[in-house]
Structure 1
Amino acid sequence: MTIADIAQQAGLSKGAVSYALNNKPGVSADTRERVQAIASGMGWHPSLAAQSLTTSRSNAIGLMLQRPARMLGNEPFYMEFIAGIETIIAPNDIALVLHMVENSEREVAIYERWWAQGRVDGVLLVDVVLGDPRVEAVNRLGLPAVAITTREAARGLPHLWTDDRAAMTAAARYLIRLGHKRIARVSGLAALDHSVVRNSAFTAAAAEAGLDSATIISTDFSGEAGSRATRDLMSAAAPPTAIIYDNDIMAVAGLSVAAEMGIDVPRELSLLAWDDSPLCRLTHPALSAMNRDVSELGGQAAEMLLTLINGGHVEDRESALPVLIPRGSTNAVSP
Structure 2
Amino acid sequence: MKRPTITDIAREAGVSKGAVSYALNGRPGVSEATRRRITEIARDLGWAPSSTARALSGGRAGAIGLVLDRPPDVLGVEPFLTALLAGIGPASLLLQVVPDLDAELAAYRRWRGERKVDGVLLAGPGHAGDRIGELTRIGLPAVALGGPPGHPGVPAVWVDDAAAAGDVLGYLAALGHRRVVRIAGPAVFAHPRSRAEAFAVAADRLGLAVARTVHTGHSGEAGPGAIQRVLVQPRPPTALLCDTDVLAVAALVAAREAGLAVPGDLSVVSWDDSPLCRLVRPALSAVRRPLAELGGLAASVLAELLAGGQAGDVCASRPALVTRGSTGPARP
Alignment TM-score, normalising by the size of structure 2: 0.77
Q: CA deviation at 1:327?
A: 0.6
Q: CA deviation at 1:293?
A: 2.5
Match of 2:81 among 68, 78, 81: 78
The 5-angstrom pairing of residues 1-335 of structure 1 reads 56-85=59-88, 87=89, 90=90, 94-129=91-126, 131-152=128-149, 154-189=151-186, 194-220=191-217, 223-335=220-332
Go from structure 1 to structure 2 and tell me whether the alpha carbon gap of 1:158 and 1:204 turns closer, same or farther (over 3 Å shift). Answer: closer
Greater shift, 127-136 or 74-83, is seen at 127-136
Greater shift, 288-297 or 209-218, is seen at 209-218
| Structure 2 unpaired stretches of 5+ | 1-55
Task: Give 3-state SS (helix, strand or coil) of 2:66's partner.
Answer: strand
Q: Which amino acid aligns with 2:82?
A: M
In 1, Cα distance between equivalents of 2:291 and 2:147 = 17
In 1, Cα distance between equivalents of 2:120 and 2:183 = 30
Q: Which amino acid aligns with 2:252?
A: L
- Greater RCO, CA 8 A, separation 6+: 2
Go from structure 1 to structure 2 and tell me whether the alpha carbon gap of 1:223 and 1:253 turns closer, same or farther (over 3 Å shift). Answer: farther
Q: Which amino acid aligns with 2:93?
A: L
Report if aligned partners of 1:132, 1:153 keep a CA contact under 8 Å in 2.
no
Q: CA deviation at 1:79?
A: 2.5
Go from structure 1 to structure 2 and tell me whether the alpha carbon gap of 1:307 and 1:208 turns closer, same or farther (over 3 Å shift). Answer: closer
Percentage of identical aligned residues: 43
Q: CA deviation at 1:119?
A: 0.8
Go from structure 1 to structure 2 and tell me whether the alpha carbon gap of 1:270 and 1:334 turns closer, same or farther (over 3 Å shift). Answer: same
Q: CA deviation at 1:221?
A: 5.0
Go from structure 1 to structure 2 and tell me whether the alpha carbon gap of 1:212 and 1:55 turns closer, same or farther (over 3 Å shift). Answer: closer
Question: Whose Rg is larger?
Answer: 1
CA deviation profile, 1:240-272 (whole Å, cap 9, x unmatched): 000000010110111011112210000110000
In 2, Cα distance between equivalents of 1:70 and 1:171 = 29
In 2, Cα distance between equivalents of 1:174 and 1:314 = 36
Q: CA deviation at 1:199?
A: 1.4
CA deviation profile, 1:89-121 (whole Å, cap 9, x unmatched): x2xxx4211001122222112211111111111
Go from structure 1 to structure 2 and tell me whether the alpha carbon gap of 1:154 and 1:76 turns closer, same or farther (over 3 Å shift). Answer: farther
In 2, Cα distance between equivalents of 1:83 and 1:274 = 20
| Structure 1 unpaired stretches of 5+ | 1-51
Greater shift, 323-332 or 146-155, is seen at 146-155
- The aligned length equals 277
Q: CA RMSD in A?
A: 2.3
In 2, Cα distance between equivalents of 1:260 and 1:222 = 20
Q: Which amino acid aligns with 1:256?
A: V
Alignment TM-score, normalising by the size of structure 1: 0.77
In 1, Cα distance between equivalents of 2:198 and 2:92 = 38
